Amino acid sequence: MTVVTRFAPSPTGFLHIGGARTALFNWLYARHTGGKFLLRIEDTDRERSTDEAIAAILDSLNWLELEWEGEPVYQAQRVERHAEVARTMLAQGKAYHCYCSPEELTEMRESARAEGRPMRYDGRWRDRDRSEAPAGIKPVVRLRAPQEGETVIRDKVQGDITIANAQLDDMVLLRSDGTPTYMLAVVVDDHDMGVTHVVRGDDHLTNAARQMQIFQAMDWPVPVFAHLPLIHGPDGAKLSKRHGAVGAEAYREMGFLPEAMRNYLLRLGWAHGDDETISTEQAVAWFDFDGIGRSPARFDMAKLTALNLHYIKIADDARLARLTAPLLGARLGRTLDEGGLALLTAAMPSMKERAKTLVEMAENAEFYFHPRPVAPDEKAAKVLTPEARGAIAELAGELAGVAEWNAPALEAVVRGHAERAGLGLGKVAQPLRAALTGRTVSPPVFDVMAIFGREESLARLTDAAAA
């Protein structure tokens, strides 16, 4: 049997970070088993669903490189099929019309709560004849759910979950306007799409029991369920807007790499022994449900950042430059041209060990693109004392004489100078840094000079010496 998983977001906002993890696990499991990963947009709530949200979700999934198979299925386009299934159940006596008013339902819930009973519909229209129907009321269609016994969800993560059928009421399948509810739509779509494994958030666990009743009523095979524990904020409450960024796209904007995001999300609730940095290839090879924990995990920005540092360090220079260029361009107020991109790429080896995010990378690289004369920041200005400027002038003269303009040769010159002057390298390098970059923090000065090239470097030093 080929495994078929799916991710089924409702397009009412950005891709939630929890949704991103759900999508990742579905994708991984499909890849691990050689199965298929499908995408379904649950847009049956026409009020809240928007095209922008759909675009944002697809965009985030693309960013995370979680590619799905085929075209996304739009649930709203399948309402006729959903209604057809409801009619079938009606014809088979698996469902019935209910003429309760909203007021009746509310009252039912309130009295149930007051008496400490489970809040559920009491099934008053279960066996009543249609002739008793009040005039002018459009009925809903409800499932004739089993009232005795129990429904057990054999969950791959949570284990066997047993729920007494008495706890579950006759859920609405078709609204009074004839449109399907989520419960019906999910089951019909999962069945029609051939979904074999339903992997989703823990918040759907009790829904699984209800959905099983629909599968059983239709005599359809029940898929394997795997309910993932939710992601919580640092305070232990369900992750929400007040915790800061909850949308996947926000992390892209903060300069996180998709592979870092995947690794972090994977480890949040899943483990493979002591392994921490797990490549996507390894994840595909190792992923299975038995590695998933049962308790909710807190989102930890620091750990994500540490992982991002690792992935930046091993990433390809040209790719990093390409990803950093727009961020840098925004800071500079202009778009980087080919030459700029080439400079950024060349600078990458000495930059990528010092940035935790691409945003930080852009900040750190900015000085390379500031035109002469260098405008030193406050700290750099302090370093550029008259004595320092004198030393820079001397040094510039010596550096002009090097045959090969590369980092080791330049370092040799400066070291020699420092030794003769009886100074530590730091005493000499720091003014150089200030003169070249206008900052007191930068990549190693010899690398900086090598990147700038002979002409630009000497010009910057001469500027500083002359001031």
Partner RNA sequence: GACCCCUUCGUCUAGCGGUCAGGACACGACCCUUUCACGGUUGAGACACGGGUUCGAUUCCCGUAGGGGUCGCCA
Catalytic residue list: 241
**Residue of 250, 297, 393, 400 that binds RNA (CB under 7 A):** 297
Contact residues for 459 (Cβ-Cβ < 8 A; gap 6+): 372
Give the contact letters, 179-198, x = binds to RNA (CB under 7 A), - = no.
--xxx---------------
- Whether the ω angle into residue 444 lies within 30 degrees of 0, i.e. cis, is no
Residue 101 in contact with RNA, rule: CB under 7 A? yes
Binders in 116-135 for RNA, by CB under 7 A:
116-121
152 or 337: CB nearest RNA:
152
254-263: b (≥16 Cβ within 10 Å) or e: bbbbbbbbbb
Residue 163 in contact with RNA, rule: CB under 7 A? yes
Binders in 244-263 for RNA, by CB under 7 A:
none
Q: How far apart are CA 365 and CA 327, in angstroms?
A: 10
**Residue of 55, 164, 314, 423 that binds RNA (CB under 7 A):** 164
Smallest CA-to-CA distance from 248 within 55, 67, 14 is with: 14
State whether residue 231 is helix, strand or coil.
Answer: strand
Stretch that binds RNA, among 39-47, 58-66, 77-85, 317-325 (CB under 7 A): 39-47
Residue 430 in contact with RNA, rule: CB under 7 A? yes
**Residue of 146, 296, 329, 373 that binds RNA (CB under 7 A):** 296
Residue 21 in contact with RNA, rule: CB under 7 A? no
Residue 269 in contact with RNA, rule: CB under 7 A? yes
Amino acid symbol at 236? G
237 or 375: CB nearest RNA:
237
| Residue 465 and residue 396 in contact, taking contact as beta carbons nearer than 8 Å | yes
**Residues in the chain, overall count:** 467
Q: What angle do CA 45, 49, 52 make, to 5 degrees?
A: 170
Binders in 43-62 for RNA, by CB under 7 A:
43-45, 48
Stretch that binds RNA, among 281-289, 296-304, 321-329, 450-458 (CB under 7 A): 296-304
Two tokens, residue 67: 């590619």
Residue 382 in contact with RNA, rule: CB under 7 A? no
Binders in 309-368 for RNA, by CB under 7 A:
309-310, 313, 353-354
Stretch that binds RNA, among 29-37, 56-64, 270-278, 396-404 (CB under 7 A): 270-278
Residue 446 in contact with RNA, rule: CB under 7 A? yes
Residue 176 in contact with RNA, rule: CB under 7 A? yes
Residue located via tokens 């940095």: 277
Residue 425 in contact with RNA, rule: CB under 7 A? yes
172 or 222: CB nearest RNA:
172
Residue 113 in contact with RNA, rule: CB under 7 A? yes
Q: How far apart are CA 77 and CA 70, in angstroms?
A: 16
Q: Sign of the C-alpha dihedral, residues 366, 371, 372, 378? A: negative
Amino acid symbol at 330? A
Shortest distance, position 448 Cβ to RNA, whole Å: 9
**Residue of 79, 133, 161, 400 that binds RNA (CB under 7 A):** 161
H/E element holding 252? helix 248-253
**Residue of 97, 128, 298, 322 that binds RNA (CB under 7 A):** 298
Shortest distance, position 379 Cβ to RNA, whole Å: 9
Residue located via tokens 């500079």: 332
Contact residues for 370 (Cβ-Cβ < 8 A; gap 6+): 438
Distances (CA, A) of 353 to 48, 304, 306, 312, 356: 44, 16, 12, 8, 8
**Residue of 92, 111, 167, 385 that binds RNA (CB under 7 A):** 167
